[in-house]
Chains A and B, each alone.
Chain A
Protein backbone atom coordinates (compact mmCIF):
# COMPACT_ATOMS: atom_id res chain seq x y z
CA UNK A 1 0.00 0.00 0.00
CA UNK A 2 1.30 3.44 -0.90
CA UNK A 3 1.65 5.87 1.96
CA UNK A 4 0.71 9.49 1.49
CA UNK A 5 3.78 11.22 2.90
CA UNK A 6 3.16 14.49 1.10
CA UNK A 7 3.97 16.48 4.23
CA UNK A 8 7.62 15.40 3.84
CA UNK A 9 7.91 17.37 0.62
CA UNK A 10 7.75 20.82 -0.87
CA UNK A 11 5.65 19.83 -3.86
CA UNK A 12 4.92 21.79 -7.03
CA UNK A 13 1.23 21.56 -7.87
CA UNK A 14 -0.46 23.02 -10.91
CA UNK A 15 -4.00 23.96 -11.75
CA UNK A 16 -5.77 26.33 -14.09
CA UNK A 17 -8.49 28.93 -13.97
CA UNK A 18 -8.99 29.33 -17.68
CA UNK A 19 -7.09 30.81 -19.38
CA UNK A 20 -4.64 31.32 -16.51
CA UNK A 21 -2.21 28.77 -15.15
CA UNK A 22 -1.34 28.51 -11.47
CA UNK A 23 1.58 27.03 -9.57
CA UNK A 24 1.48 26.26 -5.86
CA UNK A 25 4.41 25.30 -3.62
CA UNK A 26 3.10 23.20 -0.74
CA UNK A 27 6.00 23.58 1.73
CA UNK A 28 5.16 20.51 3.77
CA UNK A 29 1.37 20.71 3.59
CA UNK A 30 -0.35 17.36 3.57
CA UNK A 31 -2.34 17.07 0.35
CA UNK A 32 -4.98 14.49 -0.44
CA UNK A 33 -4.17 11.14 -2.07
CA UNK A 34 -5.80 12.07 -5.34
CA UNK A 35 -3.37 14.95 -5.85
CA UNK A 36 -0.32 13.31 -4.35
CA UNK A 37 -0.44 10.11 -6.38
CA UNK A 38 -1.45 11.84 -9.58
CA UNK A 39 1.42 12.02 -12.03
CA UNK A 40 -0.18 14.91 -13.92
CA UNK A 41 1.62 17.48 -11.76
CA UNK A 42 5.00 15.98 -12.48
CA UNK A 43 4.22 15.56 -16.15
CA UNK A 44 3.13 19.17 -16.45
CA UNK A 45 6.26 20.40 -14.68
CA UNK A 46 8.31 18.29 -17.02
CA UNK A 47 6.47 19.76 -20.00
CA UNK A 48 7.08 23.32 -18.75
CA UNK A 49 10.76 22.79 -18.10
CA UNK A 50 11.25 21.33 -21.54
CA UNK A 51 9.06 23.82 -23.39
CA UNK A 52 11.30 26.23 -25.23
CA UNK A 53 10.08 29.79 -25.46
CA UNK A 54 11.32 33.22 -24.46
CA UNK A 55 10.72 33.69 -20.72
CA UNK A 56 7.79 35.93 -19.88
CA UNK A 57 8.44 39.17 -18.11
CA UNK A 58 7.17 39.00 -14.59
CA UNK A 59 6.07 41.11 -11.66
CA UNK A 60 6.23 40.43 -7.97
CA UNK A 61 3.14 40.73 -5.83
CA UNK A 62 3.11 44.42 -4.76
CA UNK A 63 2.14 43.34 -1.23
CA UNK A 64 4.77 40.62 -0.94
CA UNK A 65 7.16 42.47 1.38
CA UNK A 66 4.27 43.19 3.70
CA UNK A 67 2.90 39.64 3.61
CA UNK A 68 6.19 37.98 4.45
CA UNK A 69 7.52 40.64 6.81
CA UNK A 70 7.11 38.17 9.69
CA UNK A 71 9.82 36.00 8.13
CA UNK A 72 12.34 38.72 8.99
CA UNK A 73 11.27 38.44 12.60
CA UNK A 74 11.95 34.71 12.47
CA UNK A 75 15.30 35.25 10.79
CA UNK A 76 16.82 38.75 10.49
CA UNK A 77 19.05 37.44 7.67
CA UNK A 78 16.08 36.37 5.55
CA UNK A 79 17.13 36.63 1.90
CA UNK A 80 14.31 38.04 -0.21
CA UNK A 81 16.00 37.28 -3.54
CA UNK A 82 16.66 33.65 -2.67
CA UNK A 83 13.09 33.36 -1.48
CA UNK A 84 11.59 34.58 -4.74
CA UNK A 85 13.89 32.74 -7.20
CA UNK A 86 11.79 29.61 -7.69
CA UNK A 87 8.52 31.49 -7.95
CA UNK A 88 9.98 33.89 -10.49
CA UNK A 89 11.06 30.91 -12.58
CA UNK A 90 7.46 29.69 -12.71
CA UNK A 91 6.21 33.21 -13.50
CA UNK A 92 8.68 33.27 -16.38
CA UNK A 93 7.10 30.04 -17.59
CA UNK A 94 3.76 31.92 -17.66
CA UNK A 95 2.25 30.82 -14.36
CA UNK A 96 0.87 32.62 -11.34
CA UNK A 97 3.10 31.33 -8.59
CA UNK A 98 1.87 30.93 -5.02
CA UNK A 99 3.62 29.92 -1.82
CA UNK A 100 2.24 28.65 1.47
CA UNK A 101 2.33 31.55 3.87
CA UNK A 102 2.83 30.01 7.31
CA UNK A 103 5.14 27.08 6.65
CA UNK A 104 5.73 26.51 10.35
CA UNK A 105 2.04 25.71 10.86
CA UNK A 106 1.55 22.18 9.75
CA UNK A 107 -1.98 22.17 8.36
CA UNK A 108 -2.40 25.83 7.47
CA UNK A 109 -3.61 26.22 3.90
CA UNK A 110 -3.23 29.97 3.40
CA UNK A 111 -1.29 30.82 0.28
CA UNK A 112 -0.04 34.11 -1.10
CA UNK A 113 0.86 35.17 -4.60
CA UNK A 114 4.59 35.66 -5.05
CA UNK A 115 5.14 36.31 -8.75
CA UNK A 116 3.04 36.50 -11.89
CA UNK A 117 3.77 36.85 -15.59
CA UNK A 118 3.12 39.74 -17.91
CA UNK A 119 1.41 38.00 -20.76
CA UNK A 120 2.31 38.55 -24.38
CA UNK A 121 1.55 36.90 -27.71
CA UNK A 122 3.59 33.83 -26.83
CA UNK A 123 1.08 33.01 -24.09
CA UNK A 124 -1.37 31.91 -26.80
CA UNK A 125 1.32 29.56 -28.04
CA UNK A 126 1.74 28.04 -24.60
CA UNK A 127 -1.99 27.65 -23.98
CA UNK A 128 -2.58 26.25 -27.46
CA UNK A 129 0.20 23.76 -26.95
CA UNK A 130 -1.47 22.64 -23.72
CA UNK A 131 -4.96 22.60 -25.25
CA UNK A 132 -3.89 21.29 -28.64
CA UNK A 133 -5.81 23.99 -30.48
CA UNK A 134 -5.15 27.21 -32.31
CA UNK A 135 -7.12 30.00 -30.66
CA UNK A 136 -5.71 33.41 -29.95
CA UNK A 137 -6.02 35.23 -26.64
CA UNK A 138 -6.37 38.94 -26.03
CA UNK A 139 -3.38 39.27 -23.74
CA UNK A 140 -3.76 43.07 -23.38
CA UNK A 141 -7.20 42.63 -21.91
CA UNK A 142 -5.97 39.80 -19.71
CA UNK A 143 -3.02 41.84 -18.42
CA UNK A 144 -5.36 44.68 -17.62
CA UNK A 145 -7.67 42.43 -15.61
CA UNK A 146 -4.73 40.77 -13.86
CA UNK A 147 -3.21 44.14 -12.92
CA UNK A 148 -6.50 45.29 -11.43
CA UNK A 149 -6.95 42.06 -9.53
CA UNK A 150 -3.43 41.94 -8.10
CA UNK A 151 -3.39 45.57 -7.05
CA UNK A 152 -6.82 45.58 -5.49
CA UNK A 153 -7.06 42.47 -3.42
CA UNK A 154 -6.68 43.38 0.22
CA UNK A 155 -6.96 40.05 1.90
CA UNK A 156 -3.60 38.76 0.53
CA UNK A 157 -4.58 35.19 1.28
CA UNK A 158 -5.97 32.40 -0.82
CA UNK A 159 -7.12 29.16 0.67
CA UNK A 160 -6.64 26.12 -1.48
CA UNK A 161 -8.14 22.89 -0.28
CA UNK A 162 -5.50 20.46 -1.41
Chain B
Protein backbone atom coordinates (compact mmCIF):
# COMPACT_ATOMS: atom_id res chain seq x y z
CA UNK B 1 0.00 0.00 0.00
CA UNK B 2 1.29 3.43 -0.88
CA UNK B 3 1.85 6.29 1.51
CA UNK B 4 -1.06 8.19 0.02
CA UNK B 5 -3.43 5.27 0.50
CA UNK B 6 -2.38 5.05 4.14
CA UNK B 7 -2.99 8.75 4.64
CA UNK B 8 -6.45 8.35 3.11
CA UNK B 9 -7.20 5.44 5.41
CA UNK B 10 -6.12 7.45 8.42
CA UNK B 11 -8.30 10.37 7.40
CA UNK B 12 -11.31 8.15 6.87
CA UNK B 13 -10.84 6.43 10.24
CA UNK B 14 -10.70 9.68 12.09
CA UNK B 15 -13.50 11.35 10.20
CA UNK B 16 -15.75 8.34 10.56
CA UNK B 17 -15.50 8.05 14.30
CA UNK B 18 -14.51 11.55 14.99
CA UNK B 19 -16.08 14.24 16.92
CA UNK B 20 -18.06 15.92 14.20
CA UNK B 21 -20.86 13.54 13.36
CA UNK B 22 -24.38 14.87 13.31
CA UNK B 23 -27.75 13.34 12.74
CA UNK B 24 -30.95 15.34 12.32
CA UNK B 25 -33.56 12.76 13.10
CA UNK B 26 -35.28 14.12 16.16
CA UNK B 27 -37.36 10.98 16.62
CA UNK B 28 -34.32 8.91 17.20
CA UNK B 29 -34.29 7.11 20.53
CA UNK B 30 -31.33 6.94 22.85
CA UNK B 31 -31.25 3.13 22.39
CA UNK B 32 -30.92 3.55 18.66
CA UNK B 33 -28.09 6.03 19.20
CA UNK B 34 -26.44 3.57 21.56
CA UNK B 35 -26.55 0.88 18.87
CA UNK B 36 -25.02 3.29 16.37
CA UNK B 37 -22.24 4.08 18.83
CA UNK B 38 -21.49 0.38 19.29
CA UNK B 39 -21.52 -0.24 15.53
CA UNK B 40 -19.29 2.74 14.87
CA UNK B 41 -16.93 1.61 17.59
CA UNK B 42 -16.66 -1.86 16.04
CA UNK B 43 -15.86 -0.44 12.61
CA UNK B 44 -13.46 2.05 14.15
CA UNK B 45 -11.63 -0.76 15.93
CA UNK B 46 -11.42 -2.83 12.74
CA UNK B 47 -9.97 0.14 10.89
CA UNK B 48 -7.46 0.88 13.62
CA UNK B 49 -6.40 -2.79 13.58
CA UNK B 50 -5.95 -2.62 9.84
CA UNK B 51 -3.92 0.54 10.26
CA UNK B 52 -1.75 -1.07 12.91
CA UNK B 53 -1.01 -4.00 10.62
CA UNK B 54 -0.11 -1.74 7.73
CA UNK B 55 1.83 0.93 9.47
CA UNK B 56 5.53 0.41 9.62
CA UNK B 57 8.09 3.16 9.85
CA UNK B 58 10.65 0.91 8.22
CA UNK B 59 8.57 0.08 5.19
CA UNK B 60 6.92 3.39 4.49
CA UNK B 61 9.17 5.90 6.18
CA UNK B 62 6.00 7.63 7.18
CA UNK B 63 5.92 9.40 10.51
CA UNK B 64 2.46 9.29 11.99
CA UNK B 65 1.52 10.53 15.43
CA UNK B 66 0.03 8.30 18.07
CA UNK B 67 -3.50 9.51 17.76
CA UNK B 68 -3.87 8.10 14.27
CA UNK B 69 -3.26 4.47 15.03
CA UNK B 70 -4.04 3.96 18.70
CA UNK B 71 -7.48 3.12 20.02
CA UNK B 72 -9.13 5.84 22.03
CA UNK B 73 -9.97 4.85 25.60
CA UNK B 74 -13.56 6.06 25.69
CA UNK B 75 -16.37 7.09 23.36
CA UNK B 76 -19.91 8.31 23.86
CA UNK B 77 -22.89 9.68 21.97
CA UNK B 78 -25.29 12.40 23.06
CA UNK B 79 -28.76 13.31 21.89
CA UNK B 80 -30.02 16.88 21.94
CA UNK B 81 -33.42 18.11 20.77
CA UNK B 82 -32.71 17.79 17.05
CA UNK B 83 -29.14 16.66 16.71
CA UNK B 84 -26.97 13.85 17.94
CA UNK B 85 -23.25 13.82 18.24
CA UNK B 86 -20.32 11.65 19.25
CA UNK B 87 -17.33 12.39 21.42
CA UNK B 88 -14.18 10.55 22.40
CA UNK B 89 -11.53 10.84 25.06
CA UNK B 90 -9.03 11.90 22.42
CA UNK B 91 -7.14 15.04 23.44
CA UNK B 92 -7.94 18.28 25.14
CA UNK B 93 -9.28 20.70 22.54
CA UNK B 94 -7.61 24.06 22.03
CA UNK B 95 -9.28 26.42 24.47
CA UNK B 96 -11.08 28.47 21.80
CA UNK B 97 -12.83 25.35 20.51
CA UNK B 98 -14.80 24.99 23.71
CA UNK B 99 -17.96 26.93 22.99
CA UNK B 100 -19.41 29.43 25.43
CA UNK B 101 -22.12 27.15 26.82
CA UNK B 102 -19.55 24.36 27.30
CA UNK B 103 -17.20 26.72 29.09
CA UNK B 104 -20.04 27.86 31.30
CA UNK B 105 -20.74 24.26 32.28
CA UNK B 106 -17.09 23.50 32.94
CA UNK B 107 -16.55 26.64 34.96
CA UNK B 108 -18.33 24.92 37.87
CA UNK B 109 -15.45 22.49 38.05
CA UNK B 110 -12.53 24.85 37.57
CA UNK B 111 -10.13 25.76 34.78
CA UNK B 112 -10.14 23.76 31.55
CA UNK B 113 -6.94 21.74 31.32
CA UNK B 114 -6.53 21.35 35.08
CA UNK B 115 -7.86 18.90 37.61
CA UNK B 116 -10.89 19.96 39.57
CA UNK B 117 -10.61 21.17 43.14
CA UNK B 118 -14.16 20.18 43.99
CA UNK B 119 -13.96 16.52 42.96
CA UNK B 120 -11.52 13.76 43.87
CA UNK B 121 -10.86 12.50 40.36
CA UNK B 122 -7.59 13.24 38.60
CA UNK B 123 -9.40 13.56 35.26
CA UNK B 124 -8.55 16.74 33.41
CA UNK B 125 -11.42 19.20 33.01
CA UNK B 126 -12.59 19.32 29.40
CA UNK B 127 -11.02 16.06 28.28
CA UNK B 128 -13.92 13.69 28.90
CA UNK B 129 -15.79 12.26 25.93
CA UNK B 130 -19.04 13.68 27.33
CA UNK B 131 -17.69 17.22 27.09
CA UNK B 132 -16.51 16.81 23.50
CA UNK B 133 -19.87 15.32 22.52
CA UNK B 134 -21.96 18.08 24.09
CA UNK B 135 -19.60 20.71 22.68
CA UNK B 136 -20.45 19.40 19.22
CA UNK B 137 -24.15 19.59 19.94
CA UNK B 138 -23.79 23.19 21.09
CA UNK B 139 -22.47 24.07 17.64
CA UNK B 140 -25.98 23.44 16.33
CA UNK B 141 -28.16 23.90 19.38
CA UNK B 142 -26.54 26.54 21.51
CA UNK B 143 -29.52 27.07 23.78
CA UNK B 144 -29.76 23.54 25.09
CA UNK B 145 -29.66 22.97 28.81
CA UNK B 146 -28.29 19.91 30.55
CA UNK B 147 -31.85 18.70 31.10
CA UNK B 148 -32.40 18.62 27.31
CA UNK B 149 -29.59 16.21 26.54
CA UNK B 150 -29.40 12.46 26.93
CA UNK B 151 -26.17 10.51 26.89
CA UNK B 152 -25.69 6.94 25.78
CA UNK B 153 -23.47 4.85 27.98
CA UNK B 154 -19.78 5.61 27.60
CA UNK B 155 -17.96 2.66 26.08
CA UNK B 156 -14.42 1.44 25.67
CA UNK B 157 -13.98 0.68 21.95
CA UNK B 158 -11.53 -2.19 22.57
CA UNK B 159 -13.98 -4.28 24.58
CA UNK B 160 -17.27 -2.41 24.13
CA UNK B 161 -17.71 -2.47 27.88
CA UNK B 162 -19.44 0.33 29.72
CA UNK B 163 -17.33 2.90 31.54
CA UNK B 164 -19.04 4.50 34.54
CA UNK B 165 -19.38 8.29 34.47
CA UNK B 166 -16.52 10.09 36.17
CA UNK B 167 -16.98 12.44 39.12
CA UNK B 168 -16.39 15.54 37.01
CA UNK B 169 -19.13 14.60 34.55
CA UNK B 170 -21.47 13.54 37.34
CA UNK B 171 -21.00 16.99 38.83
CA UNK B 172 -22.03 18.68 35.58
CA UNK B 173 -24.50 16.28 34.00
CA UNK B 174 -25.83 14.46 37.05
CA UNK B 175 -25.86 10.75 37.78
CA UNK B 176 -26.25 8.24 35.02
CA UNK B 177 -29.77 6.89 34.53
Query: Given known contacts A8-B89, A43-B56, is B159 in contact with A82 (CB within 8 Å)?
Result: yes
Residues of A close to B153: CB separation below 8 A = 75
A residues 37-52 touching B (CB-CB < 8 Å): 39, 42-43, 45-46, 49-50
Minimum CB–CB distance for A80 against chain B, Å = 10
Minimum CB–CB distance for B139 against chain A, Å = 21
Q: Does B105 contact A (CB under 8 A)?
A: no
Residues of A close to B74: CB separation below 8 A = 28
Residues of B close to A74: CB separation below 8 A = 161-162, 164
Query: Given known contacts A46-B56, A106-B121, is B161 in contact with A9 (CB within 8 Å)?
Result: no
Residues of B close to A5: CB separation below 8 A = 66-67, 90-92
C-beta contact mask, B11-40 vs A, less than 8 Å → 1, else 0? 000000000000000000000000000000
**Contact partner of B73 among A8, A39, A83, A99, CB < 8 A?**
A8
Q: Is the CB of B72 within 8 A of A9?
A: yes
Q: Does B148 contact A (CB under 8 A)?
A: no
Q: Is the CB of B156 within 8 A of A27?
A: yes
A102 to B153 Cα, complex, angstroms: 17
Q: Is the CB of B158 within 8 A of A27?
A: yes
A83 to B157 Cα, complex, angstroms: 10
Query: Given known contacts A5-B92, A46-B53, A106-B123, is B164 in contact with A10 (CB within 8 Å)?
Result: no
Q: Is the CB of B57 within 8 A of A71?
A: no
B residues 40-74 touching A (CB-CB < 8 Å): 49, 52-53, 55-58, 66-67, 69-74
Query: Given known contacts A8-B72, A11-B70, A82-B159, is B52 in contact with A104 (CB within 8 Å)?
Result: no
A45 to B70 Cα, complex, angstroms: 11
Most chain-A Cβ atoms within 10 A of its Cβ — which of B69, B72, B121, B161?
B161
A residues 4-46 touching B (CB-CB < 8 Å): 5, 7-12, 25-28, 36, 39, 42-43, 45-46
Residues of B close to A36: CB separation below 8 A = 66
Q: Does A66 contact B (CB under 8 A)?
A: no
B residues 125-147 touching A (CB-CB < 8 Å): 127
Q: Is the CB of B69 within 8 A of A42?
A: yes
A86 to B162 Cα, complex, angstroms: 16
Q: Does B122 contact A (CB under 8 A)?
A: yes
Minimum CB–CB distance for A122 against chain B, Å = 20
Q: Is the CB of A86 within 8 A of B90?
A: no
Query: Given known contacts A42-B69, A46-B56, is B158 in contact with A8 (CB within 8 Å)?
Result: no
A36 to B70 Cα, complex, angstroms: 11
Minimum CB–CB distance for A111 against chain B, Å = 14
Q: Does B166 contact A (CB under 8 A)?
A: yes
Which A positions have Cβ atoms within 8 angstroms of B? 5, 7-12, 25-28, 36, 39, 42-43, 45-46, 49-50, 71, 74-75, 78-79, 82-83, 85-86, 99, 103-104, 106-107
Given A9-B90, A46-B55, A106-B166, list of 7 further CB < 8 A pairs? Answer: A5-B66, A8-B72, A9-B72, A10-B73, A42-B55, A79-B161, A82-B159
